[in-house]
Chain A
């Protein structure tokens, strides 16, 4: 997956459950990002982290939480407070400085059942 791995590929959540989406990269990238994509829509930023042990809210952070304990890992937890979590979730990473694009993972499709 080009050095950035998301798991699982498909995830089903029951009402009231918290679920955690995994994102791991071996590209030695400093920065990592989580995006949400709804059908036919663009990319909306949930959270991002530029260095270990630090992260910032994006445009739609409510109902989500993250941690960045290791440079390689940036897991996203979708909490029960997120009322409409069904979506395609994309993780990305990049170098912190310089003009480089993002490398995206292959995504996790989350469905509420």
Chain B
């Protein structure tokens, strides 16, 4: 089955700087890669996703890049703000399998 590894597990960034979280996946048939943000005690919420026919997608300060050859994808947050502090999860879905496989999460802390 699919295996998703996520790094780093914790990340501290000065407010205004950029943050990058990386994930690798094992199944070359995976074709959908969402990212979720979970604030303390709250539910995970989808913040951005990318499909395998696209190399990069941006939404204001958030971007995701996908390298199918290397089987890795990354979340980029620019001009970080205190409200970006949360746990971020990456995930991958394999074609023909409805389940998402989640990474282990990255706790992002923005230092004011």
Contact = CB atoms under 8 A, between A and B. Distances in A.
Contact of A101 (B31, B43, B49): B49
Nearest to B4: A42
Contacts of B104: 41-42
Q: Is the interface of B mostly helix, strand, loop or mixed?
A: strand
Contacts, number: 52
Counting contact residues on chain B (CB < 8 A from A), the size range is 20 to 34
Contact of B44 (A31, A90, A96): A90
A42 B105 contact: yes
B46 interface: yes
Given A42-B89, A42-B104, A99-B32, A104 B44 contact: yes
Interface magnitude class on chain A: 20 to 34
B83 interface: no
- Interface-central residue, B34, B41, B99, by most chain A CB under 10 Å: B99
Given A104-B43, A105-B43, A106-B42, A43 B34 contact: no
Interface of B: 31-32, 34, 36, 41-46, 49, 51, 89, 91, 93, 98-100, 102-105, 107
Given A48-B99, A90-B43, A102-B46, 8 more contacts: A31-B98, A42-B102, A42-B104, A43-B102, A99-B32, A99-B51, A101-B32, A101-B34
